[in-house]
Amino acid sequence: MFVFSADAWMRFVAKPLIFLVCLVPFGLLFYGALIGDLGPNPVERVTDITGQWGLRFLLLTLAISPMRRLTGWIWLLRFRRMLGLFVFFYISLHFLTWLWLDQELIWGNVIADIAKRPFVTFGFAAWLLLLPLTVTSTRGMMRRLGRNWQRLHRAIYAIAILGVLHYIWLVKADLLQPLIYASVLASLLLVRWKPQWLRRSTQANSLANAR
Amino acid sequence: MLIKRPSDIKPSEITDPETYAKRREFLKAAAALGVGGLIGGPVSALVTPSGQGVPMRGLVDTTHGDGLALTSYDDITSYNNFYEFGTGKEDPARYAHQLKTRPWSVVVDGECEAPGTIDIEEILKRFPQEERIYRLRCVEAWAMVVPWVGFPLSSLLSRFKPTSKAKYVAFETLVDPQQMPGQKRAVLDWPYREGLRMDEAMHPLTILGTGLYGELMPNQNGAPLRLVVPWKYGFKSIKSIVRISFTFNQPTTTWWESAPHEYGFYANVNPEVDHPRWSQARHRMIGEGLFSRKHPTLMFNGYADQVADLYRGMDLTKFY
């Protein structure tokens, strides 16, 4: 009987499967566009869906390492790059929808919008910051950049904060949705800092106990 | 009342009678199929009802909006901003059936000699109901063309004999979270309130809407009685009205309260005055599809000839 090694299982089954799952929101949009079933205002629908999925994948990417710590499942880390690249994929679709279908490639307006309107500035800055992360996502680049790779990829926190602010800023009155994203992001950032506090407070406690 | 020929008919749009009759049949059929948005040209007979609502009888035809291509009934009734039923565009169509529109009465009070209450049935009986095709421009930079049914607000207001102190008219929407589930959350400060200056309220283009596509107003569009002010952004046209008050001072309005620098009292459609977060120079027509081009927005939504005089000498960037 042929038995898959754990590595082969990951490479030939798990990863392609997750890849396809990540493509489902895009597939649904594409199908909706083909049959003309994206509602009365399709441009608004596409902008909204691509932006939301970009943010969701971003939060999912940030959740990988706390989840690994919580569960001890090291294999989770092997999906992180793919999820990160899907952030770039969905945010780029979001950006292109805005640039092409909303702004209609009228460059004067595009530049004015980026300069004048803070929520556009924030969104655009987030997309720009995603570019170097995407380009340096390969193993070769990781090796070449060494310690700087990790420094560079800390930009993901800035991107997440910009993205959530971009969303908060653009809604008219109902902040419920963007605040859900904001609180998920806040908790993900908190669990990253918490070990240090814990370390400090446990140290202080043990010192106090010793006395 | 002086009736001027609407300025939005170009001579090129006036067709010889034979072609006209043929085209009218075709357009009526097209509108019934919901593809009206694809075809332009004059339609002067009453619009064919959608068949999905309660037909209104004895409607008076008008020339308002002749030549405008109608937005489909489905789009008009499934893409709505009516936060009383939720903040999503589909929420009103999903939840508005919970609203009971009978019995329904409107209180009229404030600076007038004959304050009182008027019932919706009396309104429908007493005021001749006209069909008026108007452009609707939302502050969110999308637009529709809606075949409203309604009657001039002025004819209702004058029955209550406003005094010389009546400088403004204030409107209020029903508050009842049982019927309007969106009101369970304080997204806006309920009740929704809107207002007009007296001359805007008395203007012949300003109507109280009672229906669309030849049928009683669907709940999600503001049944049973809503305001329609075609030269202002959509949020001015308050829905499901239960109270109309004549006031001396300019009334506070809900969206102004929510974000005063974004939603002014006047809220006239103006391509030159941007919303702080987006340009108002162009808009998307609902129903034209994913790859459609936007359209340039017209001053006062294309009604400048009729209404620009109301604002002569005013700085419209200041009074936005």
Work out the pLDDT band at B279, boundaries 50, 70, 90.
Answer: very high
Q: Is A106 on the interface with B (CB under 8 A)?
A: no
Examine residue A204 and state whether it is found in any structural domain, yes or no: no
CA angle B304, B138, A123 (to 5 degrees): 125
Examine residue A131 and state whether it is found in any structural domain, yes or no: yes
Output the pLDDT for position B43: 43
Q: Is A46 on the interface with B (CB under 8 A)?
A: yes
B271 vs A contacts (CB less than 8 Å): none
Examine residue A206 and state whether it is found in any structural domain, yes or no: no
Give me the residue from B78, B140, B290 closest to A101, CB to CB: B290
CA B179 to chain CA centroid, Å, is 22
Examine residue A207 and state whether it is found in any structural domain, yes or no: no
Contact B98, B179 (CB under 8 A): yes
Examine residue B2 and state whether it is found in any structural domain, yes or no: no
Backbone angles phi, psi at A116, to 5 degrees: -85, -35
How far apart CA A156 and CA B268 sit, in angstroms, is: 42
Q: What is the ipTM of this complex?
A: 0.85
Output the pLDDT for position B65: 95
Does B259 sit within 8 Å of A40, measured CB to CB?
A: no
- Looking at chain A, the whole-number percentage of residues with pLDDT higher than 70 is 90
Examine residue A209 and state whether it is found in any structural domain, yes or no: no
A109 vs B contacts (CB less than 8 Å): 279
> Among B277, B279, B282, B294, which would you mutate to test the A interface (most chain A Cβ atoms within 10 Å of its Cβ)?
B277
Examine residue B176 and state whether it is found in any structural domain, yes or no: yes
Q: Is A101 on the interface with B (CB under 8 A)?
A: yes
Does position A123 have pLDDT exceeding 70, yes or no? yes
Examine residue A210 and state whether it is found in any structural domain, yes or no: no
Q: Is A150 on the interface with B (CB under 8 A)?
A: no
B278 vs A contacts (CB less than 8 Å): 113, 117
How far apart CA A90 and CA A51 sit, in angstroms, is: 7
Question: How many other C-beta atoms can be found within 10 angstroms of the C-beta atom of residue B62?
Answer: 15
Q: Average per-residue pLDDT in chain A?
A: 91
How far apart CA B162 and CA B165 sit, in angstroms, is: 8
3-class state of residue B9 by DSSP: coil
Cα nearest neighbour of A169 on chain B: B277
Does position B32 have pLDDT exceeding 90, yes or no? no
How far B123 CA sits from the closest chain A CA (Å)? 32
Give me the residue from A39, A104, A174 closest to B294, CB to CB: A104
Output the pLDDT for position A11: 87
Domain containing A18: what range? 6-195
What residues of B are in the A interface, CB distance below 8 Å?
74-75, 78-79, 83, 87, 89-90, 140, 142, 185, 187-188, 258-259, 276-279, 284, 286-287, 289-291, 293-294
Surface-to-core class of residue A32, CB atoms within 10 Å of its CB (0-12 exposed, 13-18 middle, 19+ buried): middle
Work out the pLDDT band at B290, boundaries 50, 70, 90.
Answer: very high
Whole-angstrom Cα Rg for chain B: 19
How far apart CA B219 and CA B98 sit, in angstroms, is: 9
Examine residue B8 and state whether it is found in any structural domain, yes or no: no
Contact A119, A166 (CB under 8 A): yes
How far A40 CA sits from the closest chain B CA (Å)? 5
A43 vs B contacts (CB less than 8 Å): 284, 290
B294 vs A contacts (CB less than 8 Å): 104
Output the pLDDT for position B282: 96
Output the pLDDT for position B311: 98
Does position B39 have pLDDT exceeding 80, yes or no? no
Examine residue B16 and state whether it is found in any structural domain, yes or no: no
Examine residue B298 and state whether it is found in any structural domain, yes or no: yes
Does position B198 have pLDDT exceeding 70, yes or no? yes
Does position B20 have pLDDT exceeding 70, yes or no? no
The answer for residues whose C-beta is within 8 angstroms of residue B231's C-beta and 6 or more apart is B205, B268, B269, B300, B301, B303, B304, B306, B307
Does B89 sit within 8 Å of A46, measured CB to CB?
A: no
Does A40 sit within 8 Å of B287, measured CB to CB?
A: yes
Output the pLDDT for position B54: 96
pLDDT digits (tens, 9 = 90+) for B214-268: 999 999 999 999 999 999 999 999 999 999 999 999 999 999 999 999 999 999 9
Does position B182 have pLDDT exceeding 80, yes or no? yes
pLDDT digits (tens, 9 = 90+) for B79-104: 999 999 999 999 999 999 999 999 99
Output the pLDDT for position B297: 98
How far B126 CA sits from the closest chain A CA (Å)? 36
How far apart CA B164 and CA B112 sit, in angstroms, is: 9
Domain containing B100: what range? 22-311
Does position A192 have pLDDT exceeding 50, yes or no? yes
Q: Is A108 on the interface with B (CB under 8 A)?
A: no
pLDDT digits (tens, 9 = 90+) for A24-71: 999 999 999 999 999 999 999 999 999 999 999 999 999 999 999 999
The total number of structural domains in chain B stands at 1
Examine residue B136 and state whether it is found in any structural domain, yes or no: yes
pTM, full prediction: 0.86
How far A174 CA sits from the closest chain B CA (Å)? 6
Work out the pLDDT band at B175, boundaries 50, 70, 90.
Answer: very high
Examine residue B14 and state whether it is found in any structural domain, yes or no: no
Work out the pLDDT band at B5, boundaries 50, 70, 90.
Answer: very low
Work out the pLDDT band at A22, boundaries 50, 70, 90.
Answer: very high
Q: Where do we find the tokens 């004895």? A: B58
Does A173 sit within 8 Å of B87, measured CB to CB?
A: yes
Does position B173 have pLDDT exceeding 90, yes or no? yes
How far apart CA A38 and CA A168 sit, in angstroms, is: 24
pLDDT digits (tens, 9 = 90+) for B116-138: 999 999 999 999 999 999 999 99
How far apart CA A156 and CA A170 sit, in angstroms, is: 21
Contact B278, B141 (CB under 8 A): yes
Average pLDDT over residues A9-25: 94
How far apart CA B215 and CA B237 sit, in angstroms, is: 19
Examine residue A169 and state whether it is found in any structural domain, yes or no: yes
Nearest in space to B209 (alpha carbons), one of B193, B194, B225, B196: B225
Give me the residue from B277, B279, B284 closest to A41, CB to CB: B284
Contact B281, B271 (CB under 8 A): yes
B277 vs A contacts (CB less than 8 Å): 117, 119, 169-170
Higher per-residue pLDDT: B296 or A10: B296
Q: Average per-residue pLDDT in chain B?
A: 90
B136 vs A contacts (CB less than 8 Å): none
Q: Where do we find the tokens 């240090």? A: A196
Phi-psi region of B206 (alpha: psi -120 to 50; beta: other; left: phi over 0): beta
Contact B276, B230 (CB under 8 A): no
Between the CA of residue A162 and those of A56, A127, A158, A177, B184, what are the distances in Å? 14, 10, 6, 16, 31
Average pLDDT over residues B8-35: 48
Question: Looking at this protein, which amino acid is placed at residue B152?
Answer: P
Surface-to-core class of residue B54, CB atoms within 10 Å of its CB (0-12 exposed, 13-18 middle, 19+ buried): exposed
Examine residue A121 and state whether it is found in any structural domain, yes or no: yes
Give me the residue from A36, A170, A173 closest to B188, CB to CB: A173
Does B78 sit within 8 Å of A104, measured CB to CB?
A: no
CA trace torsion B220, B226, B229, B235 (10° rounding): -50
- Looking at chain B, the whole-number percentage of residues with pLDDT higher than 90 is 86
Output the pLDDT for position B111: 98
Work out the pLDDT band at B281, boundaries 50, 70, 90.
Answer: very high
Work out the pLDDT band at B45, boundaries 50, 70, 90.
Answer: confident
Examine residue B319 and state whether it is found in any structural domain, yes or no: no
Output the pLDDT for position B17: 45
- Looking at chain B, the whole-number percentage of residues with pLDDT higher than 70 is 86
The total number of structural domains in chain A stands at 1
Does B277 sit within 8 Å of A119, measured CB to CB?
A: yes
Cα nearest neighbour of A48 on chain B: B88
